[in-house]
Amino acid sequence: MRKLFTDFPICGNFELSADDARHVLVVLRHTVGDTLAVTDSTGATYECVITAVQGHSAMLTPAKKLSDGDETAGEVVLAAGLLKSDKFDWVVQKATELGVSRIVPVQMENCVVKLNETRRQSRRERWQRLALEAAKQCGRSDVPPVEDVVEFQALVDQYGHERFVIPYERETAPLADVCSQIRTGNVVLCIGPEGGFSPKEIQYAEAHAAWCRTVSLGPRILRAETASLAALAIVKYERGFK
């Protein structure tokens, strides 16, 4: 069953957003009496009954609680360098399916893409919509927030109290070596852009993050978008996808 999300706690009767109502009534052809799974802002999911339809608006009533939200072993933050074309769109979609906790787009020294403030905001809004659609499609009980685009140093300063894992093309120690240390708790997976990390960025992370490890994802050179999802999948697997 495809999920819907509200941005408020479900406490009684409520109205679907215009976009969700249009999708439910026009695309999926639901009507009064049909049931839907709806997840609220607390992460709880309810089986809800369509009780009234007027035009393209729909009222729902919660019938029973299905779950209180997914169990988690801690946040896995994907901080990834901006990518050209629509590659970052793809990263957002697939990372959401894999269970990422939040996504931070990062403007790095070797990024081909350079976004001004206006384009940063419009892209973030687009990526958040993609995360919402991916969450609906894969049935997860929350939508990972896509943060504002930040510079690399600002990322490290903001998340420096967390553990940083950085797949780096000049590193030989495998990611497997640190997996036992990051099976629980919060962790930031930091992935470089097409041009890779600059040595200055690696030095900054190692000097300013409380716990930072550079790792290898194997002998082959992976595309940036592949590296993001490979590293995320490995870490989530080690956590039992929690």
Q: What tens digit of pLDDT does each residue of 184-202 get?
A: 999 999 999 999 999 999 9
Q: Which domains does the chain have, with CATH numbers?
A: 3-67 (2.40.240.20), 76-238 (3.40.1280.10)
**Are residues 4 and 37 in contact, defined by beta-carbon separation less than 8 angstroms?**
yes
Structure tokens belonging to residue 105: 């787009």
Q: What tens digit of pLDDT does each residue of 203-233 get?
A: 999 999 999 999 999 999 999 999 999 999 9
Q: Which of these, 106, 130, 134, 91, lies nearest to 229 by C-alpha position?
A: 91
- CA 197 to CA 191: how far, in whole Å? 8
Q: What tens digit of pLDDT does each residue of 50-62 get?
A: 999 999 899 999 9
The confidence score (pLDDT) of residue 1 equals 60
Q: What tens digit of pLDDT does each residue of 70-81 get?
A: 778 899 999 999
Specify the 3-state DSSP secondary structure of 80. Answer: strand
